[in-house]
Amino acid sequence: MNPMLVVDNLRAGYAGVPVVHGASLHVARGEIVSIIGANGAGKSTLVACLCGLVQPMSGRVMMDGRDVTAVPAHRRQASGIAVVLEGRHLFPELSVRDNLAIAEATGERQRRGHRRLTRDEVFELFPVVRERLASPVGLLSGGQQQMVAIARALLLQPDLLVLDELTTGLAPIVVKDILNVLTRLRDRGLSLLLVEQSIRIAADLSDRSYVMSVGRMVHEVGADDWPRLLADDALVKAYLHG
Ligand code: ATP
């Protein structure tokens, strides 16, 4: 196996107090991996380490064989990691076009030679984004904004796309559309790491999943292992509804 992302024994927290206690995981090229776990398990803190917003106390983040643990947030996309954070963090007063233009320029500058998707290919994945180019992002529905956020991340030309709480609050039909696009991206060789509240989505979409509890990965679940895991009431209660 040739992993795209390796997180090795990561410890991280706030004001010297760890909330991630030695978490390890990997994502191969062209693989969809989910992290699931109860509220407070440390999932968002782990994501913050992946995008450079929190500096780990120890452990390593390796991307495509390179140690990127100390790379600052504004240089992470140059390492091939793009993150769609919970809440999306778009510029609501700016048009869809301008929101995308910022990412596109960064992708061209920092990822020269790594281009995966043209702007037209991104629009093909999300036709509604093209239709709404002139509109201020703040006027779009939640689902459309999520599509703009993913389109923007894709224009950074990542090798790994990290999606935090992607589907929370979205209508089922929109979720279906977005998941469909993620599968197509995986089939094009992109690696995807999803932090998911919904076990159902993790089970349906992922090649593998990790169950995170109190700052550690406590189970690794292959696509075929889900029925066994979900049948284990004690395990589901202990780790997934917290
Ligand atoms: P959720 O699904 O609720 O977002 P999570 O699994 O993503 O949960 P984290 O958000 O990483 O978990 O939180 C792990 C622990 O770290 C929690 O106890 C939380 O209160 C604490 N924490 C998170 N962010 C901060 C912060 N900025 N400062 C201090 N403590 C924090």
pLDDT-based confidence at 241, cuts 50/70/90? low
Q: Are 21 and 40 in contact (CB under 8 A)?
A: no
Ligand 1 centroid – CA 44 distance (Å): 6
The protein residue with its alpha carbon nearest to ligand 1, atom 25, reads: 14
The protein residue with its alpha carbon nearest to ligand 1, atom 23, reads: 45
Residues with CB under 6 A from ligand 1: 14, 19, 37, 39-45
Q: Are 111 and 157 in contact (CB under 8 A)?
A: yes
Q: What mean pLDDT do residues 176-181 have?
A: 94
Ligand 1 centroid – CA 230 distance (Å): 25
Q: Looking at residue 1, what is its pLDDT?
A: 61
The protein residue with its alpha carbon nearest to ligand 1, atom 28, reads: 14
Encode pLDDT of 207-235 as tens digits: 999 999 999 999 898 888 888 877 888 77
Mean pLDDT of the chain: 91
Structural domains present in the chain: 5-240 (3.40.50.300)
As for the ipTM of the complex, it is: 0.92
Q: Looking at residue 242, what is its pLDDT?
A: 46
CA torsion through residues 232, 193, 142, 120, sign? negative
Q: pTM, whole model, 2 decimals?
A: 0.92
Q: Are 178 and 135 in contact (CB under 8 A)?
A: no
Tokens 């998707």 -> residue: 117
Ligand 1 centroid – CA 20 distance (Å): 10
Whether pLDDT at 14 is above 90? yes
The protein residue with its alpha carbon nearest to ligand 1, atom 1, reads: 39
Atom from ligand 1 closest to the CA of residue 86: 4
Encode pLDDT of 112-171 as tens digits: 777 788 999 999 999 999 999 999 999 999 999 999 999 999 999 999 999 998 888 888
Provide the 3-class DSSP secondary structure of residue 158: coil
Q: Are 83 and 126 in contact (CB under 8 A)?
A: no
The protein residue with its alpha carbon nearest to ligand 1, atom 19, reads: 40
What ranges make up the beta strands (E) of the chain? 3-14, 17-28, 32-36, 58-63, 66-67, 81-84, 160-164, 191-196, 208-213, 216-222
- Per DSSP bridges, beta strands 58-63 and 3-14 are antiparallel
Tokens 């935090």 -> residue: 164
**DSSP annotation string for 87-144:** T----TTSBHHHHHHHHHHHHHHHSTT-----HHHHHHH-HHHHHTTTSBGGGS-HHH
Ligand 1 centroid – CA 98 distance (Å): 32
| Cα–Cα distance measured from residue 68 to residue 89, given in angstroms and rounded to the nearest whole number | 23
The residue type found at 51 is: C
| Cα–Cα distance measured from residue 205 to residue 98, given in angstroms and rounded to the nearest whole number | 31
Phi, psi values for residue 57, rounded to 5°:
-75, -35
Question: For residue 87, what are its two tokens?
Answer: 């809440």
Length of the chain: 242
Phi, psi values for residue 124, rounded to 5°:
-65, -35
Q: Looking at residue 225, what is its pLDDT?
A: 85
Tokens 């927290």 -> residue: 13
The protein residue with its alpha carbon nearest to ligand 1, atom 29, reads: 14
Give me the percent of the chain exceeding a pLDDT of 90: 65
